[in-house]
Structure 1
Amino acid sequence: MSQRVVVTGAAGKLGRAVITDLATHGWDVLAVDRVSVTGWSGDSLRADLTDYGQVLEIVSGAVDERGPRPEALVHLAAVPAPGLIPNSATFANNAPATWNVFNACRAAGVRKVVWASSETVLGLPFDTPPPYAPVDEEYHPRPESTYSLVKTLEEEMATQFCRWDPELSMTGLRFSNVMYPEDYAAFPAFDADPQLRKWNLWGYIDARDGAQAVRRSLEYRTPGREVFVIANADTVMSRSSASLMAEVFPDVEIRKELGEHETLLSIDKARRVLGYEPRHSWRDEVSPD
């Protein structure tokens, strides 16, 4: 029997890939968003996650004809980036929505939660250089925007929720900039100026690989809170990663020998713990020449 999973933010760029991937791999998906999830033929529900009552109904399996209670929840819903709306509005949406989701899952006995954290907690846009490269999960978050501050607070909330309830397994995924194959036509132009994409160390995540990371995180049931950087294995550039760092961040320590186009957003932990392995690259879609 397939397992029931709620996916919030299902109409978003990453959400669409996630619900498709999970359904393909046998999950029973309830797609939740404020807007209709176009192109999706499975179960869906429109809801406002800033309303705790609605969230509790969803995770309890109490919405008419939208049960049963899920085994797990994937929380992707949010104002997705800094500067889209005023800072106060970003905070007023994202922080309460995530608390509602976390608390409702604990109250309803949903023990597995995967949520979208963000690469921004690593210190993006790196106007202040990173402490070392490739950046990883080992240094304390350095939020530089209200959006990123909320993501940092979410990670701390998850730590405390898991302390309160040792049976919870909460996995935060620090996603890089989400891309679809149709976005890759713009990538060769980045080579003209390495400053254009230095803000996230020239990283990206193919939505299909982001979905793989979500699925593998759902399969990871170890209790407690964990966070992982999730990016593709390469950068958006045709130039070598070593040459990019030497030109743009010459004083930053490089902690490993870099592959030619190796990501500077380290995915070593995700590979080791989750078995995550990116399967897509913009180089497969567009010639860098």
Structure 2
Amino acid sequence: MSRVVVTGGSGKLGRAVVTHLAEQGYDVVNVDTAPPPAGQPALFTQVDLRDLGQVTEALTGIDDRYDGVDAVVHLAAIPAPGLRTSGATFANNVPSTHNVFSAARRAGIRNVVWASSETVLGLPFETPPPYAPVDEEYAVRPESTYSLGKAVEEEMARHFARWDPTAKLVGLRFSNVMEVDDYADFPSFEQDPRRRIWNLWSYIDARDGALAVQRALESDLTGFEAFIVASPDSVMSTPSADLLARYFPDVPLKRPVSGTETLLSIDKARRLLGFDPAHTWRNHAG
């Protein structure tokens, strides 16, 4: 059994990740400032990730609670722009991620997966993307301080991987994370597609986000890699090519898209991680 520390395991995506990894046989430690939901299948430890000493202890073992960690999944962060001031968001998120990367290196943990963000692709796409489906091939285009922080984290990961060529640091660029209860509102997007234009009508079910984490943990990659993690379908019923033509008429299609296929390409995650998402809002929305 492998022991995995999940930071932010009390949050929306974190809850799904903790549950999924425990179901797959991992020994999971939830590291967060917020308490976990009742019955969560993980050991919980309250840690301030802005303190390198606390993070180092969390990734090496705390007293007699646990000793030694095989991998870390770093999800804890202020999760979106505008929830706090820009300065506070940057001051929380970027140092926390640095501390996780640094503590993992000190602890000899070479398997690190963390939450980057779809926002590095240029969201909210007030400046249109260079092409669609968007992918990992063009340079990051942060448009907010939150997104800038994620871009800095990816750059840090490149250098931590350079310092230890045997390490793996995988940044998962999660799309908008959804739980089943969120799907009731999805049919209303059809009345005003502009409500979801900001991320090209994309999303990711939290359960599939957890699957992407598992696939990244278990991959035999080394070095730094970034992957878009989105549902294979959009939040809409209108075909994706029609939406692109209507709202982004000057953005070329890099390849054909079929029906309501996502415009945030998950081709790389499918190819290198074996990511095969299974959940869609269409099975839950009334």
Range of TM-score over shorter length:
over 0.9
Q: Percent identity?
A: 60
- Is contact 1:173–1:229 with CA below 8 Å preserved after alignment? yes
Residue 105 of structure 1 aligns with which residue? 104
Residue 57 of structure 1 aligns with which residue? 57
1:65 offset after TM fit, Å? 2.6
In the alignment, structure 1 residue 75 sits paired with structure 2 residue 74:
yes
Residue 217 of structure 1 aligns with which residue? 216
Residue 201 of structure 1 aligns with which residue? 200
One-letter code aligned to 1:37:
P
- Structure 1 residues 230-273: Cα deviation after superposition (integer angstroms, max 9, x where no partner): 00000000110011001000110101111101000000000000
Residue 121 of structure 1 aligns with which residue? 120
Distance in 2 between residues matched to 1:41 and 1:21, nearest whole Å? 10
TM value normalised by structure 2: 0.98
- Structure 1 residues 88-138: Cα deviation after superposition (integer angstroms, max 9, x where no partner): 100110010000000000011001000000000000000000100000000
Residue 277 of structure 2 aligns with which residue? 278
Distance in 2 between residues matched to 1:200 and 1:66, nearest whole Å? 42
Distance in 2 between residues matched to 1:68 and 1:260, nearest whole Å? 50
- Is contact 1:112–1:221 with CA below 8 Å preserved after alignment? no
1:66 offset after TM fit, Å? 2.7
Between 1:34-43 and 1:51-60, the stretch displaced more is 34-43
Residue 149 of structure 1 aligns with which residue? 148
Q: For structure 1, which runs of at least 5 residues remain unmatched after alignment? A: none
Q: For structure 2, which runs of at least 5 residues remain unmatched after alignment? A: none
Residue 186 of structure 2 aligns with which residue? 187
- Structure 1 residues 26-69: Cα deviation after superposition (integer angstroms, max 9, x where no partner): 000001100111121421111100001000001112x1133221
Matched residue of 1:49: which SS?
A: coil
TM value normalised by structure 1: 0.97
Matched residue of 1:170: which SS?
A: strand
Distance in 1 between residues matched to 2:64 and 2:180, nearest whole Å? 36
1:195 offset after TM fit, Å? 1.0
Matched residue of 2:67: which SS?
A: coil
One-letter code aligned to 1:170:
L
Find runs of 4+ consecutive structure 1 residues off by over 6 angstroms.
Answer: none
One-letter code aligned to 2:56:
L
Distance in 2 between residues matched to 1:143 and 1:33, nearest whole Å? 27
- Is contact 1:235–1:261 with CA below 8 Å preserved after alignment? yes
Distance in 2 between residues matched to 1:286 and 1:180, nearest whole Å? 11
One-letter code aligned to 1:183:
D
Residues 164-179 of structure 1 aligned to structure 2 (within 5 Å): 164-179=163-178
Distance in 2 between residues matched to 1:111 and 1:128, nearest whole Å? 37
- Is contact 1:194–1:248 with CA below 8 Å preserved after alignment? no
Residues 9-48 of structure 1 aligned to structure 2 (within 5 Å): 9-39=8-38, 40-48=40-48
In the alignment, structure 1 residue 132 sits paired with structure 2 residue 131:
yes
One-letter code aligned to 1:18:
V
Distance in 2 between residues matched to 1:75 and 1:7, nearest whole Å? 6
RMSD, aligned α-carbons: 0.7
One-letter code aligned to 1:203:
S
Q: How many residues align?
A: 285
- Is contact 1:181–1:282 with CA below 8 Å preserved after alignment? yes
One-letter code aligned to 1:59:
L
